[in-house]
Homo-oligomer: A and B are copies of this chain.
Amino acid sequence: MSLQTPTSAPEALSDDELTLIDKYWRAANYLSVGQIYLLDNPLLTEPLAAEHVKPRLLGHWGTTPGLNLIYAHLNRVIRNRDASVIYVTGPGHGGPGLVANAYLEGTYTEVYSGIGEDVEGLRKLFRQFSFPGGIPSHVAAQTPGSIHEGGELGYALVHAFGAAFDNPDLVVACVIGDGEAETGPLAAGWHSNKFLNPAVDGAVLPILHLNGYKIANPTVLARIPHAELEALLRGYGYRPITVAGDDPATVHRELAAALDDAFDDIADIQHAARGGTQTDRPVWPMIVLRTPKGWTGPKEVDGKHVEGTWRAHQVPLSETHDNPAHRAQLEEWLRSYRPEELFDRGGALRPELRALAPTGQRRMSANPHANGGLLLRELDLPDFRDYAVPVEAPGASTHEATRVLGTFLRDVITRNPDRFRLMGPDETASNRLSAVFESTDKVWLSRTEPDDEGLAPDGRVMEVLSEHLCQGWLEGYLLTGRHGLFNCYEAFVHIVDSMLNQHAKWLATSRELPWRQPIASLNYLLSSHVWRQDHNGASHQDPGFIDLVANKRPEISRVYLPPDGNTLLSVADHCLRSRDYINVIVAGKQPALAYLTMDEAIAHCTRGLGIWEWASTATGEPDVVLACAGDIPTQETLAAADILRRELPDLAVRLVNVVDLMRLMPDSEHPHGLPDKEFDALFTRDKPVIFAYHGYPWLIHRLSYRRANHANLHVRGFKERGTTTTPFDMVMLNDLDRFHLVMDVIDRVDGLAGTAALLRQHMVDARLDARRYTREHGEDDPRIATWRWQSNR
């Protein structure tokens, strides 16, 4: 391995300090191996026997000694500088290491009182790891000090930056595995430094840990020439400090010096920025650490190299329960850490080692930023009613719903300059939230040019053309106790499907941990949606994110389809006040009809769904229910109702609008679910229901299949017919248009097939006419495009 002398002198560590820090590292390594292997005999006070070893060995050793090494050295820096540091563990597979360190610091026992700092506590600590009824093998929500699982790789760096924003006194140490570094989100995440403001944000210290291997292969970054790696990291805008080696003493000295160098540099950068002497984007330090995979573990097993190779990834010795030779090697390995020097006979960490850990909230495992709910301060929200658009009559005027919301968000930003951020992949203006730029700018630390608009280092809107970065930053920001909203084109939010999955798992687990405090919900505003992608067409048309969210645990999943601006305001206010949810709001940006006054909107959103009497002709039991969810489906449903009341005035039509999609589920399945009785009262038990839905039609069936009237439910929605075309042509392509909805009514209401045959033919003709007009003129027939609901009450 090529060694590079760190820029600071290696005297950062005295010989005594070196001895102690090496012991601390050995203690963490010992506890890590113990968790992976041992059921009992935690201090090896007797020879290791088969019954002391777990029958199923689950876990990952390879990354763990490196994580423990970094942890021990960060402890030293924290103590020396009274620094506030959290530890983001990219290689989450190193769960035993982070648990071990939380235990060594005493935090684990404070949080889980059943795991004491004694022999019995050690036994339980070991036994519970990757054990049924115990704790998972990864750094997870259960791990004190973590905001990051690292099971699905790629998000360590974006989580770290999210945590650092608006936390001026925090340093986020972010360990990046060289496997993870091959992922897309991580590769793009390096550029987060262009969005970190040293004047008001904290610092991120990336530590690229090159142990050389992933599961079964070498890694890309470990095998390119070191000069190429340095160029890459300098190109990303960092100053890399390299520490490399496999001799513990040398690496201890160099890593200590490197961390001092990095923390000095961070302090200088922040001092310059906060003193106003530096306004350019700084070149932040980072550390490249090259140490062997599975360092200090078995060098060879069954005649094959293990330490320093990919074979060290999971459990280097796999037959310790049944193979005495493996068991002997395990015992030798464990004893190589000399546990008797590290723990007293009662199982407590020796005081001179305990003294190496920071205390109280300075312990990385107890830093409140890593349990963000502890620090959460309510948003100071303006009264959303003040932003209401006037609605003289339902469906008589138009507005752009997201533009209305933008005025509310503008003032949310003004009132919460330290705890709310709006994320967007270069789409905030496109999604017509531009009012926010009356109160703030977009974060930008790079060079500006005269025609730039609204860029500044202290902006509250974060725009980068990466949904991964937006999502990851926001997750990190929320997990450390702040608030935010991610606005995104509806189709492209699928880019972060898997990140949503992982955040949902984290939230669901956190809710079951009494010591994890609730955090602000992850709020999505999806606009530029499937029905109005005029500039783009098929690639931009996909409403399936709702389906993904509907598969998550009901405690945390919420989906809202406000039909107009006032309902959007009411929903958004509700979501911003909520905790521990994933809230998906889908709303249009194009001019669309306004239906409800603010009072009506609040009442409607509180119920989540309801009959719109003003659009219904039924006074009692209807002949047919027209249901709708989403702005465009609502518009088409109203237009269909308009045709029906004029053409078939005796038909008793009930119109039901759904804002809160989860109301369709049974109350036994979702906290928002409607009791069957109430559902039946709205949708009847036996009348046809024509449901115009924003997304893939099958979701409505999936939510309501247990309802009495399900067999009469007929859903129209997006069925993957899309292109660049006019708004009305889009709904026609998918049979969601008003004329088709009327045809659906005629086809499904008993007796209408005969009596309304002529109307049905008119509808067929109207569709043909509409298509012909559109194809001739390149725009929709104005009689359709400018249709307004005319109240008949």
Contacts and interface: CB of A to CB of B under 8 A. Distances in A.
Interface stretch (A253-261, A561-569, A609-617, A771-779): A771-779
A2 B182 CA distance: 32
Interface in A537-557: 537-540, 542, 544, 547-548, 550-553
A219 B191 CA distance: 11
Copy total for this chain: 2
A152 interface: yes
A491 interface: yes
A184 interface: yes
A675 interface: no
A179 interface: yes
Contacts of A314: 535
A791 interface: no
Interface string A719-740: 1101111100100000000000
Given A455-B218, A544-B551, A136 B537 contact: yes
Given A56-B726, A465-B153, A498-B497, A229 B224 contact: no
Nearest to A434: B216
Interface stretch (A376-384, A442-450, A745-753): A442-450
Interface string A489-519: 0011011011001101100110000000000
Contacts of A93: 536
Interface in A424-448: 426-430, 442, 444, 446-448
Interface string A655-696: 000000000000000000000000000000000000000001
A220 to B, nearest CB: 5
A76 interface: no
A449 to B, nearest CB: 7
Contacts of A237: 224, 228
B535 A152 contact: no
Given A216-B430, A427-B215, A724-B136, A55 B234 contact: no
A701 B705 contact: yes
A502 B702 contact: no
A183 interface: yes
Contacts of A771: 132
B451 A310 contact: yes
A183 B537 contact: no
B182 A778 contact: no
A699 B542 CA distance: 19
A585 B96 CA distance: 34
Given A235-B229, A492-B152, A705-B710, A217 B463 contact: yes
A764 interface: no
Nearest to A228: B235
Nearest to A442: B217
Nearest to A225: B447
A778 B132 contact: yes
Given A130-B724, A215-B429, A224-B237, A151 B466 contact: no
A140 interface: yes
Contacts of A699: 702
A320 interface: no
A314, A465, A492: residue with the most chain B Cβ atoms closer than 10 Å = A465
A415 interface: no
Interface string A215-252: 11111100110001111111111000000000000000
A732 B130 CA distance: 17
A214 B547 contact: no
A233 B228 CA distance: 9
Given A58-B534, A452-B218, A552-B720, A426 B698 contact: no
Given A234-B235, A498-B497, A55 B140 contact: no
Nearest to A283: B228
A696 B305 CA distance: 42
A131 B539 contact: no
Contacts of A132: 725-726, 729, 771, 774-775, 778
A495 B699 CA distance: 22
Nearest to A665: B698
B466 A182 contact: yes
A138 interface: yes
A286 to B, nearest CB: 13
A60 interface: yes
A402 to B, nearest CB: 15
Contacts of A185: 184
A539 B451 contact: no
Interface in A269-326: 305, 308-311, 314
A204 interface: no
Contact of A426 (B149, B215, B502): B215
Nearest to A496: B498
Contact of A705 (B58, B194, B548, B705): B705
Contact of A779 (B56, B180, B311, B548): B56
Given A235-B234, A724-B58, A220 B538 contact: no
A396 B751 CA distance: 59
A238 to B, nearest CB: 10
A229, A426, A448, A547: residue with the most chain B Cβ atoms closer than 10 Å = A426
A370 interface: no
A214 B537 contact: no
A182, A453, A726, A729: residue with the most chain B Cβ atoms closer than 10 Å = A182
Interface string A161-196: 000000000000000000110111111111100100
B215 A191 contact: no
Given A132-B774, A551-B547, A491 B720 contact: no
Contacts of A39: 778
B544 A501 contact: yes
B223 A447 contact: yes
A59 to B, nearest CB: 7
A536 B93 CA distance: 8
Contact of A553 (B180, B191, B223, B720): B720
A505 B778 contact: no
Contacts of A719: 553
A191 B183 contact: no
A132 B451 CA distance: 35
A744 to B, nearest CB: 16
A468 interface: yes
19 contacts: A56-B726, A131-B778, A137-B535, A140-B537, A152-B495, A179-B465, A184-B187, A219-B465, A223-B447, A235-B236, A305-B450, A310-B451, A494-B497, A505-B539, A505-B722, A509-B538, A698-B702, A702-B702, A702-B705
Given A132-B726, A137-B535, 12 more contacts: A54-B778, A56-B726, A59-B535, A136-B723, A183-B188, A187-B188, A215-B429, A235-B235, A491-B501, A494-B498, A497-B497, A547-B548
Which 8 A-B pairs give the minimum distances between C-beta atoms? A151-B539, A232-B235, A184-B184, A231-B235, A187-B187, A494-B498, A223-B446, A182-B465
